Amino acid sequence: MTWIELAPHHKTGLPISSPLMPAAGVFGYGECYRDLIDDEALGALVTNPVSLRPRTAARAPRIAVHGDTFVVHTGLPNPGLKRVLRHYSAAWARQPLPVIVHLIATTPAEVAESCTQISTTQGAAGIELGLDDGTSAESAANLIAAAHSTSELPLITRLPFEGVERLASAAIQAGTDALTLTAPPRAAIPLPTEAAEEIHCLSGRLYGRALFPLLLHRLHTWVPRLSVPVIACGGIATAEEVEACLAVGAAAVQIDALLWREPGIMGKYKLLKVQENL
């Protein structure tokens, strides 16, 4: 078995046996799709986004569809870190996969407190810190420093779609062990209305296969410039697209909203690799 190291500069590392993992927000806290996906197809499990304090859901509507793309605005609801750890940490410890907790980056103080709790929890193998779209390079460095000051777990930083140029170097200099490129971009889609002259739009995160060419361009541009492993995320929908991301230098890939419709993509990639080895 060939292992992929997501944190080669970290003292304990974060080795995974497959480049596939779910993106934050599509796999719950480890319980969703467990009966549909073979663990052997996954290299790691990334949890739903979690914050130090509970967050409520955004007001409806929360989804708008346009062709093969759709916008989701949830407000990142979650019961708060303490409750998530209490309910799921024992199951994480029994997982055959490393569990990466996706932490919503809020303030350095909250990040530090959260990382303290995560690092002392059984079953957590790493932290993915999700930066907001408006995060500055200085703020990113402060948030990553706060994570490092209270946790010895490997740290992955997920960059916003429009923030790669602004934040990638700052995140690496601050000591992140890997980067996820990227969070879904923000977009707006018109909502159906009874009155033709009225137009209301839903703004949120954009998902769909149309994102894949944009992702591949990001990877082609940035992977050669970066000194840490890169995890690709955005619109990946086929085993061939997984291979394309890996071919341009990504160490691993995250499958996002496609898992809601076709969780079997994980098994298709595993089958492709088996066939290649025959």
* pLDDT at 229 exceeding the cut of 90: yes
pLDDT at 230: 98
pLDDT at 178: 98
Average pLDDT, stretch 154-161? Answer: 98
When mean pLDDT is compared across 26-40, 88-102, 206-220, the lowest value belongs to: 26-40
Q: How far is 86 from 106, CA to CA, in rounded Å?
A: 21
Average pLDDT, stretch 7-22? Answer: 94
Taking only the tens place, the pLDDT of each residue in 25-57 is 988 897 766 666 666 788 999 999 999 999 999
Average pLDDT, stretch 218-239? Answer: 95
pLDDT at 136: 97
pLDDT at 274: 41
Task: Please state, in angstroms and as integers, the Cα–Cα distance from residue 84 to each residue in 97, 152, 191, following that order.
Answer: 18, 20, 33
DSSP string, 12-69: S--EESSSEEEPTTSSTTTTTTTTTS-GGG-S-EEPPPB-SS-BPPPPSP-EEEETTE
Q: How far is 230 from 252, CA to CA, in rounded Å?
A: 7
Query: Taking the model in full, what pTM does it have?
Result: 0.93
Taking only the tens place, the pLDDT of each residue in 182-212 is 999 999 999 877 655 667 899 999 999 999 9
pLDDT at 278: 34
